[in-house]
Amino acid sequence: MNIIMFRMGKEKRRKLQAIILNMAVLTFLLLASCSPVYYGPSAPVLSGFEEKGDVSITAGAGYSDRIRSIEFFGREPNAPAPDGGDTSLEGADLSVAFSPIDHLFLQYNLSYFYGDETNSNGSAERYSGNALFQNVGIGWYNMMSENISWENTLTFGRGRIDVDSRFNEELDASLVKYGVQSGLFYKKKIMELGGILGLSKIKYDDIEGVLEFRGVDQVSYLKNNDEHLLLEPGFVFRIGHENIKFQVAANTSFNLIESDFRQNNFNISFGAQFAFNAHNLK
């Protein structure tokens, strides 16, 4: 190689060095590219109901990401992400809950996520996608004291994800999620704080399309990793008027089956809750 470089002369040698340098930079950018993600936790929901007729309507905008420092299952904290890219998603959520009789409530939740993922150096996106998820729940609540309520909920939902790449590839899949969650809620007139713990199973089906990442067929990847068990703790904080409050809600998602599954594990949402008792409006 040294003999060839010597014979080329200084000018050709500089051109070859520039080509090699550009190829090295391009290779680094490709290796730093982010990966597609197929799941992100929705904002946690706590009604905080006290009696029949209670109604809660909550809406918010959120942010979902993968944070390595909070992964405790199958990976050391602060370990580097295997694909090194930005997997953040933006979203919106809506929740409506109603208590028709004492100790029983029904709820409906709608979540939407959208993301244009970028390389780790902030350059143009490689993957983009969106997801729409809705679920229903039936729950039981009880006032343990004047200011503390306890509630448990069974949930079932379905959703659809769509992932696209700038190489004109696409992956579509349906998602089913069902589980249980339990929460404690502390209530005052202008402030509320609650903690929640959920255990859910998700399953993907109707997986279609053509999408490749680093030589791996993502359709086959998702078909081979189509069931997961998730542990999702979170909190809800509200402050404001008796009937209208500003809300901050956040939760994490720990995959108990496959810690390296392509998913986000953190969600934070900012919004507002409108709460009232329907019977008091008469």
Give the per-residue pLDDT at 252.
94
Give the confidence band of 68 by pLDDT, cuts at 50, 70, 90. Answer: low
Helix-, strand-, coil-residue percentages of the chain, each rounded to 5: 15, 55, 30
CB atoms within 10 A of CB 168: 7
Q: Is the pLDDT of residue 172 over 70?
A: yes
Q: Is there a contact between 61 and 246 (Cβ–Cβ < 8 Å)?
A: no
| Average of per-residue pLDDT across 49-57 | 94
State the Cα–Cα distance between residues 125 and 259, nearest whole angstrom: 25
Q: Is there a contact between 273 and 237 (Cβ–Cβ < 8 Å)?
A: no
Dmax over Cα atoms in the chain, in whole Å? 96
pLDDT tens, residue by residue, 230-258: 999 999 999 999 899 999 999 999 999 98
Q: Is the pLDDT of residue 74 over 50?
A: no
Give the per-residue pLDDT at 260.
86
| 76 residue type, one letter | E
Give the confidence band of 189 by pLDDT, cuts at 50, 70, 90. Answer: confident
Give the per-residue pLDDT at 214.
80
E strands in the chain = 54-65, 89-101, 104-117, 127-143, 148-165, 170-187, 191-210, 212-213, 216-217, 227-240, 244-252, 254-255, 266-277
| Average of per-residue pLDDT across 260-264 | 89
In this structure, what token pair is assigned to residue 1? Answer: 């190689």
Q: Is there a contact between 126 and 115 (Cβ–Cβ < 8 Å)?
A: no
Give the per-residue pLDDT at 30.
30
Give the per-residue pLDDT at 35.
66
Q: Is there a contact between 228 and 257 (Cβ–Cβ < 8 Å)?
A: yes
Which residue(s) pair with 207 in the sheet?
none
Give the confidence band of 128 by pLDDT, cuts at 50, 70, 90. Answer: confident
Question: CA 136, 137, 138: angle at the middle one, nearest 5?
Answer: 145
Give the length of the chain.
282
Give the per-residue pLDDT at 29.
29
Q: Is the pLDDT of residue 31 over 90?
A: no
Give the per-residue pLDDT at 59.
97
pTM of the model: 0.79
pLDDT tens, residue by residue, 204-220: 999 999 998 888 899 99
Q: Is the pLDDT of residue 25 over 90?
A: no
